[in-house]
Chain A
Amino acid sequence: MRNGRLTPEEVVERFTERLGADILETRVQERREGIKKNPNYNIWIDLNRDALKPAIEALIEIHYPHLSVIAGSDLGETIRLLYHFTIYYGTPAGEYTVTLAVDLPKGDLTIPTISDLIPGAVFTEREKQEFFGITVLDIPDGRRLFLPEDFPQGVYPWRKDETGVPDSMVNKLWASKRPTDRPAPPAEEKEACELETGEEVEKPGSTGVEEEPK
């Protein structure tokens, strides 16, 4: 305890006491910047899926957390969801980030909604559904969020397996040409200017037809 706040280690202890074997791994990351090198703490807790909501309840008991975002990562066999919270905001140099990470096996990509505990979470949960193809159980609003309506079903942009964005959907700007199915431009198109060394600049009034380099 320090000024009524738990130290980062005590926060971790609180979780391991409360959730025991469901806590898989914990670490406290410290970062010091500036001249004074005052520390900032990032707490990382890996846990089982079933322990996610009890863990958030434990977090709310410490301090009502701010949910920054739910990040995710396709690790091949599993999808790792990272719930990034912060606690003790409002205290000078007292804020910690607390990241609760859950690995979901690709065979069962479901996770309960946390929007009953933190209503603002529904926004980022919707995003995770469309970008990772996970199912958030009991989500109050399961519509798409960022992807357009005509985006194909079953394609999840942040997946690294066969459900990710296929090459055929990627429009490479450097390889793109003027589309052929559009009306002709109002003015006649100019020849692309590709000067090679030694080539003379075309004079105005010339036909613009490419000639053999001299």
Chain B
Amino acid sequence: MSEGTGRKAPYIIPIGPTHPALKEPVMFTFEMEGEMIRDVDFAPGQTHRGIEWMGMRRNPVQIVHLTDRICGICGVSHTFAFARAVEQIAEIEVPERADYVRTIIAEFERIQSHLLWAGVAAHELGFDSLLHLTWRVREQSMDVIENLTGNRVNYGIVQVGGVRRDIVPEQHQIIEDCLATYEGLLSKLLSLFLDDRSIALRCRDVGVLSQKDALELCTVGPTARASGVNVDLRQDYPYSAYGDLDVRTILPDQYAGETRGDVYDRIVVRLLEVGQSCGIIRQCLDEMPAGEVTAEPKIAKLLAICKKASGEAIGRVEAPRGECFHYVRMEAQEAPHSWKVKASSYSNLMSWIPMLRGEQIADIPIIVASIDPCLSCTDRVAVIRGERRDILSKEDLHRLSVEATRRLQA
């Protein structure tokens, strides 16, 4: 592309490595041919915090507060998974009521995470009025989470052996009001997102991930489901209260009659899951058994139990973005001997490569965002064309994306 060579050589666009909205900043390197992405590479770990290293030097009660802070959106999934692993090693029976409280919080987390993502997706496409609508309605679920746990983000509700706060009858009405709002809104949201001609033009057959690739790249969660892979831990491996609830996987063909594995299908799956989560929460409230919410309320006793435990176990939960996996090995010590955290995005990053190949530069923001709400991405971009070097800010890239929408609308 550089002037004077007369040859249309591929050029390299690095994107990243840091962007403020991300818990895992990613460095992208795009090999471009004109406007088309020929190949893509990425390097995660730009701010690796060594959480596992820290955990292997702390006791399980300290770790639950660390796991709360692994992710800014999944405030409960990691703690839930870690606690389940430790409970298996220490042979702690979690009271049934605690299983239900955990499930209700986990589903509220899914609702707020999916709505946050829907807003980001709308913004990347240039529909800021839709961004404002989704983020405004998301507030109600955050308010309910705050009411139930005391916190909006780092919930601090799950403890090894149960939960730290019960849900009392006075809170049922607040939860019910919130569910009613979302159920009333869902058909409107579905129609705003899925019946819109411009969104369909920007998202249909864009960023396609085939079912074969989804399986081979170990993809999880809504990203895998949008490609027609029937995976959902709540259905396949029903932990906690999910075993009583009969949850079924949501696949895009249930709505559109077909599965294409594109960005559009990812919107379908996430929006439908908001409605599904409302149903799950309501069922949990109705069927919640009475009783204690923790197996051991005294922290000193709980630590003593953990200190005697030895063995290895897996804790898995279905986080909003897919399987969240914790491996813990304990050897009758204060701190766990080994700990491995596998967040859901860990499994999904590889799927960017087939999704992005062959797509346009203006589609980068929406495709990158389509696997994960946090990766709204592209803080600054340097474009190197021969000797020239231009810096593209996030705003520039966003403008390109908006212009692409406008061109389609014209």
Contact = CB atoms under 8 A, between A and B. Distances in A.
Interface of A: 29, 31, 33-38, 40, 42, 44, 64, 66-69, 71-74, 82, 84, 86, 88-95, 97, 99, 118-124, 143-148, 157-158, 165
B53 A165 contact: yes
Contacts of B53: 157-158, 165
Contacts of B220: 66
Contacts of B249: 90
Nearest to A41: B237
Interface in B328-359: 329, 337-338, 340, 342, 346-347, 349-350
Given A90-B230, A91-B236, A124-B346, 17 more contacts: A35-B287, A35-B289, A66-B215, A68-B342, A69-B340, A69-B347, A73-B312, A74-B338, A84-B327, A88-B236, A93-B237, A97-B316, A119-B350, A120-B219, A145-B45, A146-B45, A148-B46
B216 interface: yes
A123 B350 contact: yes
B217 A68 contact: no
Contacts, number: 139
13 contacts: A34-B243, A42-B313, A68-B342, A68-B347, A84-B327, A89-B237, A93-B237, A94-B236, A119-B350, A120-B350, A121-B218, A123-B218, A123-B350
Interface string B28-69: 000000000000000111101010110010000000000000
A84 B314 contact: yes
A40 B237 contact: yes
B237 A95 contact: yes
A93 to B, nearest CB: 5
B325 interface: yes
Nearest to B349: A123
Interface in B223-261: 229-231, 233, 235-244, 246, 248-249
A197 B241 CA distance: 51
A33 B236 contact: no
A147 B94 CA distance: 37
Nearest to B230: A90
Which has the most chain A C-beta neighbours within 10 Å: B45, B231, B249? B45
A134 to B, nearest CB: 14
Contacts of A90: 229-231, 236, 249
A206 B333 CA distance: 52
B379 interface: no
Contacts of A89: 230-231, 236-237
